[in-house]
């Protein structure tokens, strides 16, 4: 089932409940050598699309991974609110530069589908069982 991604943090609390936040980081490497040759073309009136293509590739891959992570972590999710993306450069070496795209959002499930257990932590750990009173 496709997810609805909303950048606002408002939702109908009579229909949905927030079950948790999902955060995803994706890294893309860009060859500086390719960038140098593309830069020469841009200086001569051409268009340097290297960075744009890399960001587009990174965004597509990250969005697919984010959707998969949401479905794996909270399978009943119908909407993600407070959805946010950010791209930043994190470092360079002699041959390439690295971009990181971070995506995050709060998962909403219908009130009648609320989970009784917390998901397994992505860094390990045991499941916590919630007791009903």
The pTM is what? 0.71
Number of compact structural domains in the chain: 1
Looking at residue 36, its pLDDT comes to: 55
Looking at residue 118, its pLDDT comes to: 52
The stretches in the chain having pLDDT less than 70 are 1, 32-48, 93-94, 113-133
Could you list the residue range(s) of the whole structural domain that residue 25 is in?
4-113
Query: 71 CB contacts (<8 Å, ≥6 apart)?
Result: 3, 77
Helix 32-43 and helix 50-73: axis angle, to 10°?
A: 130
* CATH code of the domain containing 41: 3.30.110.70
Could you give the 3-state DSSP secondary structure of residue 131? coil
Report the alpha-carbon distance of residue 49 to residue 55 in Å, rounded.
10
> Strand runs (DSSP E) across the chain, as ranges?
4-5, 16-31, 79-92, 96-110
Residue 125 lies in a domain: no
Residue 124 lies in a domain: no
Residue 33 lies in a domain: yes
Looking at residue 53, its pLDDT comes to: 84
Residue 20 lies in a domain: yes
Residue 133 lies in a domain: no
Question: Which pair of tokens denotes residue 133?
Answer: 């009173």
């Amino acid at each position: 089932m496709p997810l609805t991604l909303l950048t606002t943090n408002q939702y109908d609390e009579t229909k949905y409940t927030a079950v948790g936040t999902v955060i995803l980081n994706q890294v893309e490497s860009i060859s500086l050598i390719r960038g140098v040759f593309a830069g020469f073309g841009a200086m001569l009136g051409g268009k340097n699309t290297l960075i744009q293509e890399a960001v587009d590739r990174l965004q597509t891959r990250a969005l697919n991974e984010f959707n998969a992570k949401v479905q794996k972590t909270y399978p009943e999710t119908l909407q993600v609110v407070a959805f946010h993306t950010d791209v930043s450069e994190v470092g360079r070496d002699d041959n390439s530069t690295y971009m990181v795209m971070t995506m995050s959002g709060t998962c909403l499930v219908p009130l009648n589908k609320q989970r009784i257990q917390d998901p397994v932590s992505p860094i390990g750990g045991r499941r916590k069982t919630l007791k009903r009173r």
